[in-house]
Amino acid sequence: MTEPLRLGIAGLGTVGAGVVKIIRQKAALLTERTGRPITISAVAARNRDKDRGVSLSDYAWEDDAVALAKRDDVDVFVELIGGSDGPAKAATEAALTAGKDVVTANKAMLAHHGQALAQLAEDNGCVLRFEAAVAGGIPVIKALTEGLAGNDITQVMGVMNGTCNYILTRMENAGLSYDQAFDEADKLGYLEADPELDVGGIDAGHKLALLAAIAYGTQVAFDAVELEGIGKVSIADIRQAADMGYKIKLLGVCRMTGRGLEQRMAPCLVPATSPLGQLDGGTNMVMIEGDQVGQIVMRGAGAGEGPTASAVMGDVMDIARGTRLSTFGQPASSLKLVTAAQVATPAPYYLRMGLIDKPGALAKVATALGEAGISINRMRQYDQTNDAAPVLIVTHKTTRAALDIALVAMNATGVVAGDPVALRIESV
């Protein structure tokens, strides 16, 4: 009989417990599909006594993840601890150095240390797989590294943080303010321990950086991702976007240009009738454009026990079958250093501002836009609230650099109350 593939699982939170459940409940199916049994030798977590809804009595226990990674009876180290450094990184390095394959769901660790870990894996003849780190149950890593490997990728775009999509959806559907929707998401347990990882776009930015590395054969460059969270999006923006036929989404976009790699994670307007516009709740969606295949759209659960554990098991089963792939789809030594480029692809923009009741206020704003080379497509003025009148402007296509110049000029006019909100409009 073929020898079993023996796992050591570090981290027994929601996802880790989900992986244990799949292995216990679907043992026969896993063996049929891989040609060998998949078993668990040992596990590690902070609390040995916690009830995780699944029996762990059949497995050895390690208090130290590094010790687990070095065990002789572990073939694949499954890292589900989380965090960019600390125990997760130390244990992953220990496993790879010991010649063990690694499966991880840790986007933060890979976004910050992906190149070094990929090189370490290859130096030791190991594979490092991370399907569960991006978009939960959606097999987007496998799509890029395998199914679409014969394409030059022209663009990757998507909604990659279910918490942000939930908040924006609740604001629209229930008429909640940002703070109300945030509190609701928090009570439901959707937010990270540090909420800024979600609402600040950091979590989704980690995922975008990993996808960009695979799509364009570059070293992971999270520091080059332009990040903007959803904290400035108001219920007024949600309603006014809807009036114009748009939805607001935290949207990640990466593309290779003649100037370098553009990577952006920011709230944008998308057509309400588009696949992204119809994406509700905590669901994720990734759209990939290839020169041969055209546009591929993948949609599914972006988090949760079942979807993420499913992605972990997909990687484990590939290893059981003998599939050996480079971490980012090609040898780590061949990945190019990123030449980062600010997003300069022209697009229309949505602007919302409050104008102080002064003669010629609107003309001053129009002049600031015109002097920056920006023309106005549509404009609406609403009834005055407090000391300012809300004004909505949709521009014709322009660059963010030109818009930034106009925004500085607007603020210098003395007729704009507070900072204007500026959101890019994507045609998808």
Residue 13 marked in a binding site: yes
CB 235 within 8 A of CB 176: yes
Task: Identify the CA nearest to 427 among candidates 155, 144, 139.
Answer: 155
**55 C-beta neighbours (distance < 10 Å), count:** 10
Residue 162 marked in a binding site: no
Q: What is the DSSP letter of 335?
A: P
Residue labelled with tokens 């990184």: 89
d(CA 225, CA 203): 12
Residue 224 marked in a binding site: no
Residue 12 marked in a binding site: yes
Measure CA 100 to chain center: 27
Residue 385 marked in a binding site: no
Residue 54 marked in a binding site: no
Residue 426 marked in a binding site: no
Q: Name the strand (E) or helix (H) holding 400.
A: helix 400-411
Q: Name the strand (E) or helix (H) holding 356.
A: strand 349-356
Task: Identify the CA nearest to 332 among candidates 125, 78, 131, 132.
Answer: 125
Q: Is 207 a catalytic residue?
A: yes
| One-letter-per-residue 3-state SS of 62-108 | ECCHHHHHHCCCCCEEEECCCCCCHHHHHHHHHHHHCCCEEEECCHH
Crossing angle for the helix pair 305-321 and 27-34, to the nearest 10 degrees: 40
Task: Tell whether the torsion through CA atoms of 334, 138, 158 and 175 is positive or negative.
Answer: negative
Task: Identify the CA nearest to 3 among candidates 70, 66, 76, 68.
Answer: 76
Q: Name the strand (E) or helix (H) holding 8.
A: strand 5-10
Tokens of 370: 């015109």
Identified catalytic residue from 70, 207, 249, 364:
207
Residue 39 marked in a binding site: no
CB 99 within 8 A of CB 312: no
**248 C-beta neighbours (distance < 10 Å), count:** 24
d(CA 164, CA 200): 9
Residue 407 marked in a binding site: no
Residue 192 marked in a binding site: yes
CB 3 within 8 A of CB 28: no
d(CA 314, CA 139): 9
CA dihedral angle for residue 376, residue 382, residue 358, residue 233, rounded to 10 degrees: -70
Contacts of 107 (CB under 8 A, 6+ apart): 130, 133, 134, 203, 206, 207, 210
Catalytic residues: 207
Annotated binding site for L-homoserine: 192
Annotated binding site: 10-17, 107, 192
Annotated binding site for NADP(+): 10-17
Annotated binding site for NADPH: 107
